Structure 1
């Protein structure tokens, strides 16, 4: 069984014996099991928590986001439910706020908060960067936009975290395809640069493909910024593709700023300085460029 199930129901149906239940399956929550060789995911943990609730709770927060197909959610993170009563359980966050009828829905047979309500909750949690990362990821999975969330701020004017949520809505972007891309974008914005365009499509001779996508950048100046995960440095096929890809982009006049994990974590000022210098070369005259382009580029 690849999905969580209730042990009592499986025993009653005869699909598993008590010995088999003990030897082949791991308990996730009380009476909820998953096969020992099955990979735990955030979505499976959400299903397990819903079963634990007696199929009566509504999935919310990261659990709802996981059900919608959001990636990058830690499978070990607690599941999240809206539940009016009942005792808490280890590994499950129980929220007891009131939900309006139009803030919930059925999705793949599971009761979940709507994408807008899910983002409303995630975007108010402490830590602006993490909130933007989570809302970006949900937006990427569901094509949610800030205008979908905004009415909930008027509906719930006394909710905690609205000041941060307004900032998150200004910063969110469905084009972010990883947490690192979101963090890179925030580095540029926090430095005073305009919000970059994401997933810029460039047509050209890119081998088997007729186009390439740049993570983010300023297309009017042909300056792009790319976050490169470890596979770009260690996988020979990815590296070979990158060489050809960047050659074609350069031939079309693009300057690409390549960002590594080390740079993003320890030297974000280098990302800003290199981007500003490229923009200066291309004729951009934003005030921040005059200040930042003089920084030493290490």
Structure 2
């Protein structure tokens, strides 16, 4: 589904600048040792360090370190390279469920010896039209990155990347062309399913996870970002099924209290839901804990959609 009007969701496009990286070759050994000993620097790869940020949220720290490894590798490398897969996704600002400790690159030449353990080198044919730059670094295009991740990552992780890529402007037709050129490759069936289910309307990995769970359970494909005019104004809801007049809203931890006090947010949300329900809609609220008990979650949905016909999607259940 198309996304709602306005700028890209910050949950789908991380505008974090590239971190400053300190290369050991630029300092004396004693200076590097002192910075590490005082915990002012943290090592991200051999010969490369970043400033320590006390109190940094763990996921943000892992993301910053992954970006720092990319920057360090680019500066330490003696030859041309292009970042791909999850490393390209990071440079595009896309969300990742899990931060890889390894950096992925496309490189024409093969290294002598075993190469660095924290680098995964790929040697596919990379047409020039599948290459661009982000932050001054060579990287696979948004569409190529989407397909690479959909083909290589587990289904949910691939869908999170695909949703976000479409949300910030990836062309689905170009994605389909890239995928069509990969017949018989490993992961193509999964990537085809992910591309078919990917939706530009998803505004966060949490929303994608809820939709993925619904699809994994065999429920009909929901519409995203449903516009609901009410007597108090027009509201947008994460996803739902118009024919059943059922809406589904993901309540993330940052939703309440993000602006103003938590109590004000709860009251505002209650008024919003009341106005929507007065228009004949029903609202199913979902939190992360609901997704841990799939049978219970399915029963909740089926109470509102008793005649729903489930359609198994085995590709989504593959690891």
> Could you tell me the TM-score, scaled by structure 1's length?
0.78
d(CA) in 2 for partners of 1:260, 1:215: 13
Q: Alignment length, in residue pairs?
A: 274
CA apart distance, 1:19: 4.7
Computed over aligned residues only, the root mean square deviation of the Cα atoms, in angstroms, reads 3.0
Contact kept, 8 Å, 2:224 with 2:237, in 1: the verdict is yes
Query: Structure 1 residues 222 and 183, CA, compared in 2 at 3 Å: closer, same or farther?
Result: same
Could you tell me whether the CA contact under 8 Å between 2:103 and 2:118 is conserved in 1?
A: yes
1:31 aligns with 2:56: no
- Which residue, out of 14, 21, 25, partners 1:4? 21
- Partner in structure 2 of residue 212 of structure 1: 235
1:71 pairs with 92, 95, 99, which one? 95
Three-state SS of the structure 2 residue aligned to 1:123 is: helix
* Residues 247-273 of structure 1: per-residue CA shift (max 9 Å, x gap): 22222222111112221112x233333
- Paired position in structure 2 for 1:255: 282
Extract unaligned runs of 5+ from structure 1.
Answer: 12-16, 290-298
Instruction: Summarize the Cα distance change of 1:201–1:92 in structure 2 as closer, same or farther, 3 Å threshold.
Output: farther
Contact 1:175–1:199 (CA<8 Å) still a contact in 2? yes
Quick one: higher RCO (CA 8 Å, sep 6+), 1 or 2? Answer: 2
- Runs (4+) off by over 6 Å: none
* Distance in 2 of aligned mates of 1:233 and 1:205: 23
- 2:85 alignment partner, one of 38, 58, 61: 61
Q: What displacement does 1:55 show?
A: 6.5
TM-score under structure 2 normalisation?
Answer: 0.74
| Structure 1 counterpart of 2:300 | 274
User: Which residue does 2:110 correspond to in 1?
Assistant: 85
Determine the C-alpha separation between the residues in 2 that align with 1:59 and 1:158: 24
Q: Distance in 1 between matches of 2:253 and 2:303?
A: 26
Name the residue aligned to 1:294: none
Match of 2:174 in 1: 148
Separation in 1 of the partners of 2:48 and 2:80?
Answer: 15
Task: Decide whether the 8 Å contact of 2:102 with 2:119 is kept in 1.
Answer: yes
Instruction: Check 1:96–1:270 CA distance in 2 against 1; reply closer, same or farther (3 A cut).
Output: same
CA contact (8 A) 2:246 2:281 kept: yes
Deviates most, 124-133 or 169-178: 124-133
2:266 is the counterpart of 1:239: yes
| Structure 2: gaps spanning 5 or more residues | 1-17, 312-319
- Output the CA distance in 2 between the equivalents of 1:188 and 1:251: 25
| Corresponding residue number in structure 2 for 1:167 | 193
Distance 1:237 1:45 in 2: 42
